[in-house]
Amino acid sequence: MTLFTLLIVFCLVGVLEPAHAYNATKVTNFMDASQTIQEAINAATPSDTIHISSGVYFEHIIINKSITIVGEGWTSTIINGNQSGTIAEILSDNVSLCGFTLCDAEKAIALTNVKNCEIRDNLITNISLTYGTAIHADSCENITVEENNFENIYFNPILFYQTKNSHIKGNSFIANMRFCQPISLRFSSNNVIELNVVSGHGVENEGGIGLLYSNNNVIRYNQIIENDWAGISIRSSNCCVIEGNTIVGHQWYGLRMENCKDNNVHWNNFVSNYKDAYLESCENMTWDSENWGNYWDDYSGKDKNNTGIGDEPYQIDLENYDIYPLMGEFYRYEVNSIVDGKTEIFLVSNSTVDALCLVNMSESVFINVNVSGNQGTFGFCLAKFSKDIVESPYCVEVNGFAPIALVDYSNGAFAVLYFSYLHQNQQEVIVIVPEFGWSSLFIVFCVLLLMTSHKQLLHRIKK
């Protein structure tokens, strides 16, 4: 009996990061059907939550008190700016706006000199007038813009100016207008931009994510796809981290940096860009973290010692080299561990990683990875994860068999495993497990026996 067989039984118990669901903390005010949204705001007291019923509202609202405003969902609760002005002006701290479509205006949301506000789970569209901006935060702090959808925005879906300590996470952008750059930070510091999908769909636009005079920002784990100018543009911005992004199909540059210093770029995937990286007047650049660099699809070096890292540096320009280029694309998964809650698993692979999950069984935890590739080709994975997830020593199986090669580079608190295999079925199931104990094997045997008996009973009933 192989571990591959056992995983078919238990794989469903592993989960990836669940989608966020909005929950109001205080429900005190449901808008009367005869009211406008502005009238409901005027009648509210600080800390109230106003629930807005489905409908189309032609309004421009001013939010000048600490309240939460929740629509019934952006498919049914629409605030239309009637082709003018700003739909929602936020002038107070601790404001939340959730569950709306905001459309047809010069600007959707303006936040001015406020802090601790969130814009979550909205659709913002058709902000297509000249210099139209969806969300403009000016001189703000601790602003959260999360899980919104942006499309048909003329200029900037998100523009932060002199804004700090804020979070842009899990949003989706269709940047299909000429002057659109989905995320733009100017004179803004200590912000995190992560887990967004930024796509230009191959049309002419101003690129994906841009920083200007903005220091100490983090851009990580974003999908930046088919924009025209540059996937990420960093100008006159220092001490930033560009980590784990997939930057694909840009007409000019995957990454462009000018007049910068002390920036770190690692774990990114540069694929099918006209030029993956262009630097001008940049100093003290770092291209790796813990000896893992970036994946460059035009890298032609070899990996003769089975590390997942190229033997020769990748030359970016005359002054910049990625000393540790990755031999496959970088993948990052956030999973729920029964040991230490949410944790990260990192992979580098020349196969396509289709899915990853944790399998919890009795007192053991396995990592299950599904990969695909062309039959007859050789694949590899380089896996890094906390030793708290899976106990050492480690065993790896590919479709129930030992891999061609297995090298354990583990050190400190992290396990680092390299293994290679032959693609035999186009899709392979890989299992990373601790050494099996007799108690776990006995439990598995009993469960499989019960399942087999259940199947036989169903077969007899069908007959």
Give one DSSP letter per residue of 31-90, joined into a string.
PPTTS-HHHHHHH--TT-EEEEPSEEEE--EEE-SS-EEEES-TTTEEEE-TTSSEEEEE
Does a structural domain hold residue 354? yes
Q: What does the pLDDT read at residue 449? A: 41
Residue 349 lies in a domain: yes
410: domain CATH number is: 2.60.120
Predicted TM-score of the model (pTM):
0.87
pLDDT for residue 389 = 87
| CA separation for the pair 406, 201 (Å, rounded) | 40
Whether 281 shows a pLDDT value over 90: the answer reads: yes
Mean pLDDT of 104-110: 96
Say if residue 23's pLDDT is above 80. Answer: no
pLDDT at site 458: 39
Residue 240 phi, psi (nearest 5): -105, 155
**φ and ψ of 314, to 5 deg:** -100, 125
Q: Which helix (H) or strand (E) holds 343?
A: strand 341-349
pLDDT score of 285? 97
Check whether 246 has a pLDDT greater than 50: yes
- Residue 30 resides in a domain: no
Cβ atoms of 163 and 191 within 8 Å: the answer is: yes
Using a pLDDT cut of 90, give the percent of the chain over it.
72
Asked whether residue 343 is domain-assigned, the answer is: yes
Which pLDDT score is estimated for 446? 44
Residue 26 confidence (pLDDT): 36
Residue 429 lies in a domain: yes
How confident is the model over 351-377, as a mean pLDDT? 89
What is the percentage of the chain residues whose pLDDT exceeds 70? 85
Beta bridge partners of 283: 261
pLDDT of 368 > 70? The answer is yes
Task: Return the pLDDT at 30.
Answer: 64
Determine the number of helices (DSSP H) and then strands (DSSP E) in the chain: 3, 43
φ/ψ (deg, to 5) at 161: -125, 120
Dist CA 79 CA 59 (whole Å): 6
Mean pLDDT of the chain: 87
Where residue 388 falls among pLDDT bands split at 50, 70, 90?
confident
In tens, the pLDDT along 307-319 reads: 999 999 999 999 9
Give domain status of residue 360, yes or no. Answer: yes
pLDDT confidence of residue 147 = 98
Q: State yes or no: pLDDT of 347 exceeds 90.
A: yes
Is it the case that residue 441 has pLDDT exceeding 50?
no
Q: CA-CA distance, 421 to 162, in Å (whole number)?
A: 51
Cβ–Cβ under 8 Å, residues 367 and 337: no
What is the pLDDT at residue 339? Answer: 65
pLDDT tens digit sequence for 184-215: 999 999 999 999 999 988 777 888 999 999 99
Q: Could you tell me if residue 209 is inside a domain?
A: no
Which domain covers residue 350, as residue numbers? 334-434
* pLDDT exceeds 60 at position 371: yes
Residue 279 lies in a domain: no
The confidence band for 33, taking pLDDT boundaries of 50, 70 and 90, is low
Q: Are 230 and 252 in contact (CB under 8 A)?
A: yes
From 23-37, 121-135, 229-243, 278-292, the region with the lowest mean pLDDT? 23-37
CA distance 33 to 53: 8
Taking the C-alpha atoms of residue 210 and residue 227, their distance in angstroms, rounded to an integer, is 12
Bridge partners, residue 189, by sequence: 164
Which of 103-107, 138-142, 358-362 is predicted with the least confidence, judged by mean pLDDT? 358-362
Q: Domain count of the chain?
A: 1
pLDDT, residue 105, reads 95
Is the predicted pLDDT of residue 161 greater than 70, yes or no?
yes
